[in-house]
């Protein structure tokens, strides 16, 4: 456990080093949040309520989504695993007397917690100020928001870990990761709330793991879904992806061949 705490702290410290990049990311999240919110306000100006969502709900989800970008890494960065498979340095990772999955998870959770504390809060606060968002009065919804964000980070790691593992079979995970960066924002409710999709499409997208990254946390915060139901949805996907990653990781390690001997 001490090893994983140290790796977690390493991930936290590593990402806290790039202060200018963090500030730039916050500005970008705020700007894109404003642009997306204005587009949705124009849509709701023509139709005040869509499948139960109001303009205020949609704009709130926009800034919840922007706040979760740094937590879930839905646009990247990818895990280092794929690159380390390409250059053979993954062999050194596999020699450590710890489970590689837990090592990479601890490191990535450090990144996610830094993003939650330093990047998410000012991003959401900017939206709340600029658009006078109707914030929930129920303290329970505020209390479960960090738990939902952590579960979203676990789902995000599980997906990125699976993308990276493809390098063991394909030799390069960048193609799979590129597809993931395209699918994730579309299927998660990041670009457009899933509620605004046709009912059949929205029902299918809600069953996919990407919904646990944005749509479910946003609905928990908005009170559009039960707190226990939403957290359970996220927890089940997080557990399923981590178990699948562990199984595929064990198979991948049996395929390792380091070039040069």
How confident is the model at residue 97, as a pLDDT? 76
Question: pLDDT grade, residue 167 (50/70/90)?
Answer: confident
Greatest pairwise CA separation for the chain in angstroms: 65
Distance, in Å, from the CA atom of 81 to the CA atom of 224, rounded to the nearest integer, reads 37
How confident is the model at residue 259, as a pLDDT? 46
Q: Contact at 8 Å (CB) between 205 and 187?
A: yes
136 secondary structure, DSSP code: -
How confident is the model at residue 212, as a pLDDT? 95
Best CA proximity match to 86, nearest among 163, 173, 162, 181? 173
Q: What distances in angstroms separate CA 210 from CA 65, 90, 217, 240, one per listed residue?
A: 12, 28, 11, 13
Residue 255 confidence (pLDDT) above 90: no
How confident is the model at residue 250, as a pLDDT? 85
Mean pLDDT (the chain, rounded): 88
Q: What is the mean pLDDT of residues 35-53?
A: 90
How confident is the model at residue 260, as a pLDDT? 43
Q: What distances in angstroms separate CA 25 from CA 21, 32, 73, 119, 123, one per listed residue?
A: 6, 11, 12, 8, 9
Q: What is the mean pLDDT of residues 209-225?
A: 92
Measured at the alpha carbon of residue 232, what is the angle toward residues 50 and 101, in degrees to the nearest 5? 120
The residue extents of the domains of the chain are: 2-253
pTM: 0.91
Lowest model confidence (mean pLDDT) among 80-84, 193-197, 198-202, 254-258: 254-258
Q: What is the mean pLDDT of residues 182-206?
A: 91
How confident is the model at residue 257, as a pLDDT? 53
DSSP 68-128: HHHHHTBTBPPPTHHHHHHHSTHHHHHTSSS-HHHHHHHHHHHHHHHIIIIIIHHHHHHHH
Q: What is the mean pLDDT of residues 239-256?
A: 86
Q: What is the mean pLDDT of residues 209-233?
A: 91
How confident is the model at residue 261, as a pLDDT? 42
Question: pLDDT grade, residue 247 (50/70/90)?
Answer: very high
Residue range 57-98, pLDDT digits in tens: 999 999 999 999 999 999 888 888 877 777 777 777 777 778
How confident is the model at residue 256, as a pLDDT? 61
Residue 18 confidence (pLDDT) above 90: no
């Amino acid at each position: 456990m001490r090893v994983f705490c140290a790796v977690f702290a390493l991930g936290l410290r590593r990402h806290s080093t790039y202060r200018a990049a963090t500030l730039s990311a916050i500005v970008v999240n705020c700007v894109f949040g404003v642009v997306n919110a204005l587009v949705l306000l124009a849509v709701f100006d023509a139709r005040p309520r869509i499948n139960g969502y109001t303009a205020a709900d949609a704009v709130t989800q926009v800034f919840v989504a922007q706040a979760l970008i740094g937590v879930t890494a839905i646009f990247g960065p990818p895990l280092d695993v794929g690159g380390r498979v390409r250059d053979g340095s993954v062999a050194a990772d596999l020699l450590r007397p710890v489970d590689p999955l837990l090592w990479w998870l601890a490191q990535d959770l450090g990144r996610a917690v830094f993003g939650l504390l330093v990047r998410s809060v000012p991003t959401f606060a900017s939206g709340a100020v600029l658009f006078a968002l109707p914030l929930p009065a129920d303290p329970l919804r505020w209390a479960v928001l960090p738990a939902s964000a952590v579960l979203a980070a676990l789902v995000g790691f599980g997906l990125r870990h699976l993308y990276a593992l493809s390098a063991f079979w394909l030799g390069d995970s960048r193609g799979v990761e590129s597809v993931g960066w395209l699918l994730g924002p579309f299927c998660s409710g990041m670009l457009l709330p899933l509620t605004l999709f046709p009912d059949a499409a929205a029902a299918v997208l809600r069953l996919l793991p990407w919904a646990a990254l944005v749509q479910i946390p946003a609905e928990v915060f908005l009170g559009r879904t039960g707190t226990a139901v939403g957290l359970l949805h996220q927890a089940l996907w997080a557990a399923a992806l981590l178990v699948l990653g562990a199984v595929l990781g064990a198979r991948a390690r049996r395929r390792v061949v380091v070039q040069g001997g």
